[in-house]
Structure 1
Amino acid sequence: MKQLFILLSAFLLASCQEFLTRDPENEIGSEEFMRTENDLVLYTNGFLQRHMPDEETLAWGDQYSDNIATRTSTQFLIGDNWGPDEQGGWGGGASGKWSELRNVNYFLDNLPKARSNVSDATYRHYEGVGRFWRAYFYYSMVRTFGDVPWYDSEIDIADADQLYKPRDSREFVMDKILEDLNFAAENCSAEDRYVRSSTLINKWVVLAFKSRVCLFEGTYRNYHEELGLKASAPKFLREAVSAAEELMTTGPYRLVNNPANVATQYRSLFTSENLNTTEVILGLSFRTDVRMHSITWKLFSASFGNNWSLTQPFVNQYLMLDGSRFTDLPGYEQKTYREVFENRDRRLEQTVISPSYTRRISGAVRRDAPNFALTSTGYQPIKWALDDDVHVGLATANNSIPMFRYAEVLLNYAEAKAELGEMDVPEWDRSIRLLRERAGVNGAPPAAYDPYLAAYYQHQTTDKWILEVRRERGVELVFENVRYDDIMRWRMGELLEKTWQGIYIPQKGEVYDLNGDGAPDLSVVDAEPPANQRIPGVAYVVLGSVYRLSEGDRGNLEFGFSQGRRWLDKKYLRPIPTSARQVNPALGQNPGWER
């Protein structure tokens, strides 16, 4: 065992040195490469391929948040069994996380080779691109681990002080991230050749990302008082406002908004083959027979997907078309599936299957109801799905995937203003009103805070502006890989352990036609009936260890109570992996994860 430990330590030591010191494995004649603009294009295109999240991360990144029920949960949220031995996301080596930083720093260190061969503007643009990706890497690491060691150049293999130094403070690293983003925002180009496809890093991408990063850090410091950084929260919130406002004022983007298309325009952003460059600032491009994915297959597969479903408490937050609150309606708690969709924010029916939803099944277009082999709550998502079952069982979906949208920039602006106490009608009108009216909702500002939302967020605030921005953020950005981070920065981790509630069932044992097409769809029962007594087309949801009704024989369908999800405050940060600490004990450990 001792020999095994020595061998393992030697391997990890070599990896630690390698990930920060070795030249990139795909170098192209390192002495001569990176001397022309074409070399810079080739190298930075590699950043796009390696560093950007893939389509499934963007579509399912929020699957373990508060508003999405899943068939299975992540082990990180189950009980208190997760620890440093299970944690990844740190390792060295050519495929390890830190190799991303090494590639960026190699690029920045070698960029001067091209200075005499490219224009000053081109040089500064590519330095900005490199610094953008360094900020992108470190933002991910800070969100995950908090304090991390900062490196802004390649490390000499003999420099033990740097290789094995302690972690730098969150405060220091976030200031360095801000420096990189400010440089990139000032120097990355806004020329059409970098902007028109919405697939390359440019000035507007940097500003959109900066608004996200600074909102995250400002609110994280504000709500996580244990850090002792609350006094510096406004600095980041003002930087978020500044970045968003510059993009809103001088950028080329706007919301896709044609009143004639109110029933389809929101969802079209996520189901179109071409990225809608009117609103999408950066995204992943897909093409039929060239580059395709399996998102539709996973949404409509009982085995391949994870039964992603919206919860009733979240669906309750969608407004009525006249701008009033659904939760102010008498008896809203007992509204049936069909009633829930009546006169609601048009984004609801473009996010989950509604009573009017149709898709092509076996070549014919027909109405489709929630399938309880695919959903656990009855609110089955379609936001990323193509409405044709030809894609089920095949990775043939061709819809392109937005990563940064102008809508998020408006939300970042509004939330930062609200958190600063500077939100009022003018700020509302240039941000939240636009989003609501695009969805067919009266965009008038709130007269008072919403007690339902205040209770949902555990009475953390009764500020009407903050609560309404949170409502809008949830509705607009659902399934877009931001919700989990929102919950973390708001210090609302307890929401992740709640039992998920689904559609209201007036009476168990009855058979329900969910979408009103004349065909029965669902019955909630104590035991599944014998085969000869089953009604064709009906899904029988059996109460017991997996499902229950909130009121015994009626009520909201409840799911997930047997998964053992448990929130502990130490989970706001992940543990430093054991393997990393074996190599460098100076890294220390995050609070609560010491063993």
Structure 2
Amino acid sequence: MKTNYIAVYAVLILLFSGCDKFLDRPPLTALDDNTNGWTSEEKLRMYADKYYADFFNGYGIAFNYGTAPMTSSTNTDDVVSLGNQANFTRSVPNSGIWSYTNIRSLNIMLDRIETRMSGILSEEAKAHWTAVGKFFRAFRYCELVQSYGDVPYYDFELFDTDLEELYKPRTARNEVMNHVYDDWLYVLENIRTNDGDDQKLNKYIAAGFISRLALTEASWQKYYYNNPGQAKKFYELAIEAAQIDISSGKYDIVTDYKSLFTSKDLKGNKDMVLYRGYDAALGVTHAIASQCNLSESTNNGPTTDLLKAYLCTDGKTWGNSAVANASEFDLTSMIQSRDPRFEATFFSKPNLLNRSALFYVTKYFSREAEESVVTGNGLPTEFSSNRNETDAPILRYSEVLLNWIEAKAELASMGGAAVTQDDINKSINKIRQRPVAAEAKSRGVENLPDLLLNALPTDPDRDPSVSPLLWEIRRERRLEFVFETNRLADLRRWSKLEYMDNEQNTDLLSGGWVDFPVELPNELDAKNIGVFAVVDKDGTETVYNGTNDAEMKGFYKHQNNNPRLPFLNQANINPYLTPVGLVQMDEYELKGYVLKQTEGWPQN
């Protein structure tokens, strides 16, 4: 039977979890907490299992997408939406604050391991489960500081009567993350290398996530807080953690790109550090294909900016490449001349089901299902509605490799050891040489050549504040994780949200290339006058007027695609951190305390 992280131990969750909102947490029921809740390692394991669905969401359950790809990644420079582009928060909300439900629950777990299970657990088991609790607690604190910056820190069970603690001032981010850093060291030293199932939390899974989270904090410290000492500390930990997985021999890049997201069984796949299993026989399914099954429409598609980022098969940018049709952006030319991940991500013809960009994303739709739809045999049942049963990658080995090489490159820019060609070969080039699917090869798809340190691509669109090496590492991340959940988090940690500013980048409002007279001639009719437009490579926009059919060739731009509001360099608006609500600030004041507003937002 496949491993499923959606197994829900309902009784334990109801009895052991607190309420959803900070300051509203009733105590545990006396029965389970005092009688039979902490009497065996197996019960402790069941208690910890409930965190898997919280932290490792995958594709969600049924139509509850949660943080699933294609649903939580729409507000980035990769995605153009039909209509108004999503805005960043522009004012302090009436209500809103952090949730400490998981932290309270984890502090209870850690307390009970120490105070009630010493005679039940061996020293090894006690250390392992303490490490598990500290891993999840550190994970949640990372999420909190990435959103709010300074947040209250608690490493003990908190009761409703502890007003001084409940309403204490926000703890400085560095202090919070120094506690997290110490927890991570404990985790890497004490967590088991195997807990009986390679998809149960172990040293390698923990190390992979620590490489991500430590890299994230290091980047915030370098680029947002301008704290090189703290940044160096976390970059070094990111490298150390990633190296654990790299040196283990457990993982490799062995699967073609599309199969990573469309497989019904990822068990034993060496590309996976952690995945979430689905099984229709158990009634555990999802609905990710409803976003990309060639049968349902979508309002989100790729930006022209994203499409221009794909390298050609000689490893050069489209404007510098000698590859045939390198400067062309029609789907056939791009499939044959670009990074193979392009072919694995998009349908092969412009499609009006993608209403914002015409390039239809099929990254999460299997080749077999696509063939069934194209040949008129219909949409397979398992890709319709919420019947999807493909397994969801949670942490891929490719991410660990890219975390590792980015941290090394950042340290090198801060006086550390220089990145070597061998480092590039072990990371970016290993990813580039992954297998290409037979169907892709039949379309003329080829792998990119190795990235060479002495011949980095010359990119006229490179941000001049970013070194050529880091620019290529960041490009690799963008294309490896496109339409997943990484891009906005990456832009935040690099302090590069300006890439999403429509006034600075007009390529964010147009989508894929279309030759209307050839590819979609029937759409040049009265109903689309003043609605459809195209933008040529020089940025000239042509709106359809009913008589200019021959001119309708270029990057598609729907006239309803409107820019997001400006969000940078405005007083009392900080797009990087989340403000707390007025209601919560008033609640503190009524009880005689002060809740300080998040950095960059007005106190009142």
Q: TM-score range by the shorter chain?
A: 0.7 to 0.9
Equivalent AA in structure 1 for residue 320 of structure 2: D
Which residue in 1 is equivalent to 2:80? 69
Q: 1:143 to 1:301 in 2, by over 3 A?
A: farther
Could you tell me how far apart the structure 1 residues matched to 2:20 and 2:146 are? 27
* 1:217/1:489 contact within 8 Å kept: yes
1:218 aligns with 2:186: no
Identity among equivalent pairs (%):
24
Number of aligned positions between the proteins: 519
Q: Distance in 2 between matches of 1:323 and 1:552?
A: 30
CA offsets per residue over residues 479-527 of structure 1, 9 Å max, x none? Answer: 2211110000111111223333322345xxx4223xxxxxxx45664xx
- Aligned residue for 1:593? 601
Partner SS for 1:502: coil
**Structure 2 counterpart of 1:285, from 277, 284, 287:** 277
Aligned residue number for residue 526 of structure 2: 529
Structure 1 residue 590, shift from structure 2 partner: 1.9
Give the alignment partner of residue 296 of structure 1, picking from 289, 294, 306. 289
Contact 1:449 1:467 in 2 (8 A): no
Who is 1:274 aligned against? Answer: 265
Give CA deviations for 1:108-159 in whole Å, capped at 9, x if unaligned. Answer: 1111322212222222111111111101111111111111000011124332
Instruction: State whether structure 2 residue 99 is matched by structure 1 residue 101.
Output: no
Mapped contact 1:219–1:233 kept (Cα < 8 A):
yes
Matches within 5 A, 1:387-406: 387=369, 389-391=379-381, 393-406=384-397
Q: How does 1:351-500 map onto structure 2 within 5 Å?
A: 351-354=345-348, 369-386=349-366, 387=369, 389-391=379-381, 393-421=384-412, 422-438=418-434, 440-452=447-459, 455-456=461-462, 458-461=463-466, 463-498=467-502, 499-500=508-509
Aligned partner of 1:551 among 521, 540, 543: 540
Letter in 1 for 2:330: T
Question: What one-letter code is carried by the residue in structure 2 that aligns with 1:390?
Answer: P
Aligned amino acid, residue 75 of structure 2: Y
Q: Which residue identity does 2:80 align to in structure 1?
A: A
1:286-345 alpha-carbon deviations (Å, 9 max, x no partner): 012421111112324887x75331222222222223333333137855533321222322
Cα distance, 1:285 vs structure 2: 0.9
- Alignment partners' CA distance in 1, 2:213 and 2:478: 18
Aligned residue in 1 for 2:577: 573
1:343 aligns with 2:349: no
In 2 relative to 1, CA 491–16 (structure 1 residues): closer, same or farther, beyond 3 Å? closer
| Unmatched 5+ stretches in structure 1 | 1-12, 91-96, 258-264, 355-368, 514-520, 531-540
Alignment CA distance shift 1:282-1:496 (3 Å): same
- Cα deviation for residue 435 of structure 1 reads 0.6
Q: Is the alpha carbon distance of 1:173 and 1:275 closer, same or farther for their aligned partners in structure 2, counting shifts above 3 Å? A: same
**Cα distance in 1 between the residues matched to 2:244 and 2:401:** 11
> CA separation in 1, counterparts of 2:421 and 2:170?
44
Hey, what's the Cα distance between the residues in 1 that align with 2:295 and 2:529? 17
Give the 3-state SS of the residue equivalent to 2:344 in structure 1: coil
Q: Secondary structure at the match of 2:575?
A: helix
SS in 2 for 1:558: strand
State whether residues 143 and 573 of structure 1, in contact with CA within 8 Å, keep that contact through their aligned partners in structure 2: yes
**Distance in 2 between residues matched to 1:14 and 1:338, nearest whole Å:** 50
Mapping of residues 110-149 of structure 1, within 5 Å: 110-112=112-114, 113-149=116-152
Q: TM-score, normalised by structure 2?
A: 0.79
Alignment match, 2:242: 244
Which residue of structure 2 lines up, in the alignment, with residue 182 of structure 1? 185
2:336 is equivalent to residue 320 of structure 1: no
Q: Which of 231, 234, 245 lines up with 2:232 in the alignment?
A: 234
Structure 2: runs of 5+ lacking an equivalent:
1-18, 60-64, 371-378, 413-417, 436-446, 503-507, 543-552
TM-score, with structure 1 as normaliser: 0.81
How many Å separate the matches in 1 of 2:109 and 2:155?
Answer: 11
- 1:106–1:450: structure 2 CA closer, same or farther, 3 Å change rule? same
Task: Say which is worse superposed, 562-571 or 231-240, in terms of deviation.
Answer: 562-571
Q: Which stretch of structure 1 is more off in the superposition, 234-243 or 282-291?
A: 282-291
Classify 1:73/1:142 alpha carbon distance in 2 versus 1 (closer, same or farther; 3 Å): farther
Q: What SS is found at the alignment partner of 1:309?
A: strand
Structure-to-structure mapping, 1:10-49, within 5 angstroms = 16-19=22-25, 22-24=26-28, 28-49=32-53
Between the aligned partners of 2:52 and 2:30, the Cα distance in structure 1 is: 15
Listed one character per residue, the Cα deviations across residues 417-457 of structure 1 (whole Å, up to 9, x for unaligned) are 111123221111111110111162211414345443x635x
The alpha carbon displacement at 1:401 in A equals 0.7
